[in-house]
Amino acid sequence: MPIKPNTCIEISKEDIKFSAAHFTIFSATERERLHGHNFKVSLCLTAEVGENGMCFSYVEIKRRLRTLVDTLDEYTLLPQLSPYLEIAQEGDQYRVNFNGRSLFFPVEDTQLLPLRNTTVEEFARYLLERLLGDDFFSADKGITELVVKVSSGPGQCGSACWTREA
């Protein structure tokens, strides 16, 4: 019986990234100062190699990844699910209370995300969940595993993994 090989295709293009401001929250009383990163995103898909010697066309995957990261680009990102933040909209600003202090962010420049913290780990999970909600990735294309990596700089990344149940 011939072996049907699987392969991991990694998509890690220079333009699949988002630039954003954030701060990491360490505890109820400690957080980083507001700062920014150029977050690089990569995706590894494991799938069966077809009769034509390839898994699928990468064009559609790259397009969908670029569209997804564009939704985060050039925003201040705030974690809606943080137990340490209280976020309320006041007119055209968000008031963010943390440890007895208020911070203000313009609504038009801010994204509230369903995250507990604005870390590479949480960004990776968020992006993976968004991809899994996309018809392209939820359809059976023979993809057995997805790994999303988000890097905030060289040598520092977080990843989230999904494996298709047999």
- Go through the domains of the chain in sequence order and give each one's CATH number: 6-75+117-163 (3.30.479.10)
Provide the residue count of the chain. Answer: 166
Residue 51 is predicted with a pLDDT of 80
Contact 119, 158 (CB under 8 A): yes
Residue 165 is predicted with a pLDDT of 78
Residue 24 is predicted with a pLDDT of 97
Residue 140 is predicted with a pLDDT of 65
The residues facing 40 across adjacent strands are 17, 151
Segment 101-134, tens digit of pLDDT: 999 999 999 999 999 999 999 999 999 999 988 8
Q: Is the dihedral of CA 133, 139, 141, 143 positive or negative?
A: positive
Residues 6+ apart with CB under 8 A from 83: 28, 116
Residue 1 is predicted with a pLDDT of 47
Residue 48 is predicted with a pLDDT of 83
Instruction: Going residue by residue through the chain, which has 166 residues, state the pLDDT in tens, using 9 for 90 and above.
Output: 455 678 888 999 999 999 999 999 999 999 999 999 999 999 999 888 878 877 777 888 899 999 999 999 999 999 999 999 999 999 999 999 999 999 999 999 999 999 999 999 999 999 999 998 887 776 667 788 999 999 998 889 999 999 987 6
Residue 144 is predicted with a pLDDT of 85
Residue 9: CB atoms within 10 A of its CB come to 16
